Amino acid sequence: MNRVALHQSTVHPMSPVDLVEIARRAGLDAIGLRVAATAEAHEWWSHGIGSPMLPALVDALLESRVTVLDIGRVELGPELRSVDFAHPYVRVLELGTRLGAQFVTARAGTGDPAELFPLLAELAGRYRLRPLLTVVPGTPIDSVERAIELVGGTSGGIVLDVDPRRDPAELEESVVELGDRLGYVRILASALEDLPEATPGLLATLPPHIPIAIGADEPGHLGSDQVARATALRRTVDAMLRHPRAGAAV
């Protein structure tokens, strides 16, 4: 079964522990965390694995059986050329492995991504994390094609952003072409809520090991009624995962 995760961006400025509770009550399998590169991440995670948030979050995860899909984010900058525990990327990797994350996300920074992403992939492997590139318009990684080029020859992959109105056949073709370079699929909560109804079978042919993450382009998208809205988002994704023929009479 495909894991469905709720990214922290959707419930900002709520704490990671609150995010776990919302995910549990909404029937979501996992969460995505940001522990570097934002002000709220510094507030909670400035002391890395020594942060008071860590034991509280571990307890919440164990009690709820919610897991951590991904942790981020790492900016691809020249600091990756040396292992220095003062740099935020080490905090991301250390917290990722402590929390049992599957992926660590990265985006273009101040350095050459062609040089720096392989360095991150090698470092992440030591922490049993798989690095994924995110596509961000206006940066050196501004297209899926560019991201695929950069992850070639490494253990990494990409985050595939999906418009829920996309044609299912086109998405299926993209997923097949990506193969094992696909880490997970991300859909914006705003786009899901704007749909008059779920796109039948959009995600039905997604391999069962590929997770789906619900994110936000504007932090705090869910605002109030987070549990109710997260539950509705989960139901919409579930409908997209259901093949149109699944309800047909045999």
For the chain, the first-to-last Cα distance in angstroms comes to 22
Rounded to two decimals, the pTM is 0.93
Taking alpha carbons only, the member of 89, 111, 93 closest to residue 103 is: 93
Low-confidence ranges of the chain (pLDDT < 70): 247-250
pLDDT tens digits, 102-140: 999 999 999 999 999 999 999 999 999 999 999 999 999
Taking alpha carbons only, the member of 162, 160, 164, 163 closest to residue 148 is: 160
Provide the mean pLDDT of the chain: 93
pLDDT given for residue 239 in this prediction: 92
pLDDT tens digits, 187-213: 999 999 998 887 888 999 999 999 999
pLDDT given for residue 3 in this prediction: 97
pLDDT given for residue 247 in this prediction: 59
Residue type, 239: A
CA torsion sign, 179 to 183 to 189 to 190? negative
pLDDT given for residue 219 in this prediction: 86
Backbone angles phi, psi at 133, to 5 degrees: -85, 140
